[in-house]
Amino acid sequence: MLNSNRSGRRAKRLIKSGLDLLFPPACPFCGKKSNDRTGLCLDCGAKYFHERQMSCPRCGQTVEFCNCDCDFPHISRTTVGGKTHMSLTFYTGSGNAEAAGRVTEQMILSLKNNGHHAKFFADELSDTLFHLFEHSEYTLDEWILTYPPRSLHNYLKYGVDQSEEVTRHMAKNLGIPCRKTLVKEAGGEQKTLSSEERMVNAEETLLPRKHAIVRGGKYLLFDDIITSGATVMAAANLLYANGAAEVFPVSIARTLPKEPR
Ligand SMILES: [Zn+2]
Ligand SMILES: [Zn+2]
């Protein structure tokens, strides 16, 4: 049984590498041959790693250390490895044309619209978290992954809950559980709202799932992008209000702070 499984897998791998030779997987941005880890070609892969190093126009820090324009770090009382409460990999622009040309911008868009690159982003964040926890007083296996889900309406519209996809891959990487602790009622999409409207919308439409939040639990709270911080704040407040001991927000990207005038 084991043997036939193994030879089945080998056959599948052979077929796949044969197909890759005949029809090399294309980079989603430029159509050139992609390398297998990122799904990007070498050029776009290099651009991605360059974009990861982008620094804040105000304080010059990379995203993990910058606190400009953000009123959300206080939601988390957790300090991991002496860092400011969040795990992020890079900045995302604020919707201008220059930002639209970025590989990371395109990847996040196709994550939101189609659930693409979920494993890639999960791998990136898992690496960051492993590294953070290695130098902290915590051990990763005390933590539970969770996320503010998409509303049923948006789940049906896009056919995917991108946060759930990323969280599931992260749970596998990190060897910790992933739990659905929150539900999202139909409300406006956050992206069409002003920041005050976002806060009200997030608070009104996010609810705790009955008996799903563990008293004294430590939560890694994943949200794909932090724009105003409203969703992550509302979710963290609900977790704390229902007995969570710690909430550590984990995000792929944060909107770049505006340059000082
Ligand atoms: Zn490319
Ligand atoms: Zn800054």
Q: State in Å: Cα 57 to ligand 2 middle.
A: 7
pLDDT of residue 72: 63
Whether residue 217 has pLDDT greater than 90: yes
| Segments making up each domain of the chain, as ranges | 1-34, 47-255
- Give per-residue pLDDT as tens, 144-184: 999 999 988 889 999 999 999 999 999 999 999 999 999 99
Tell me what the mean pLDDT of segment 226-251 comes to: 88
Which pLDDT band holds residue 189 (cuts at 50, 70, 90)? low
Give the pLDDT confidence score for residue 223 in this predicted structure. 92
Nearest Cα neighbor of 260 from 60, 63, 93, 102 is: 60
| Residue (of 167, 88, 163, 164) closest to 129 by Cα position | 88
Question: Looking at residues 219-228, what average pLDDT do you find?
Answer: 88
Higher pLDDT, 39 or 153: 153
Residue, of 42 and 18, whose pLDDT is higher: 42
Arithmetic mean of pLDDT, 185-194? 72
With 0-12 / 13-18 / 19 or more C-beta atoms within 10 angstroms meaning exposed / middle / buried, residue 173 is: middle
| Averaged pLDDT, 22-29 | 70
Q: Which ligand does the CA of 48 lie closest to? A: 1
Instruction: Find the ligand nearest to 65 CA.
Output: 2
26 CA → ligand 1 middle, Å: 8
Q: Ligand 2 centre and the CA of 255: distance in Å?
A: 11
Q: Is the pLDDT of residue 240 over 80?
A: yes
Short-list 179, 127, 188, 134, CA closest to 157:
188
Closest CA to 206 of 175, 176, 178, 180: 180
- Average pLDDT over all residues of the chain: 81
More confident of the two residues 45 and 20: 45
Could you tell me the distance, in angstroms and rounded to a whole number, from the CA of residue 254 to the centre of ligand 2?
11
139: CA distance to ligand 2 center in Å?
A: 29
Residue pair 242/219 in contact by the 8 Å Cβ criterion = no
pLDDT in tens, 88-111: 677 776 655 556 678 888 888 888
Q: Ligand 1 centroid vs 106 CA: distance in angstroms?
A: 11
Rg (C-alpha) for the chain, rounded Å, is 19
Residue 11 pLDDT > 80:
no
Q: Which ranges of the chain would DSSP assign to H, the alpha helix?
A: 2-22, 42-52, 97-100, 103-114, 118-134, 152-158, 162-174, 195-205, 230-241
CA of residue 86 to ligand 2 center, whole Å: 14
Q: Is it true that domain 47-255 has CATH number 3.40.50.2020?
A: yes
45 alpha carbon – ligand 1 mean position (Å): 7
State in Å: Cα 253 to ligand 2 middle. 14
Per-residue pLDDT averaged across 67-77, rounded? 65
Lowest mean pLDDT among 58-62, 88-92, 152-156, 220-224: 88-92
CA distance linking residue 222 with residue 213, whole number of Å: 15
CA-to-CA distance for 250 and 222, rounded, in angstroms? Answer: 5
pLDDT at res. 2: 47
Confidence band, pLDDT 50/70/90 cuts, at residue 1:
very low
Nearest to 86 by CA among 132, 17, 143, 42: 132
* Ligand that lies nearest to the alpha carbon of residue 254, given by its number in the listed order: 2
Q: Tell how far the Cα of 4 is from the centroid of ligand 1, in angstroms.
A: 38
**Ligand that comes closest to the CA of residue 68:** 2
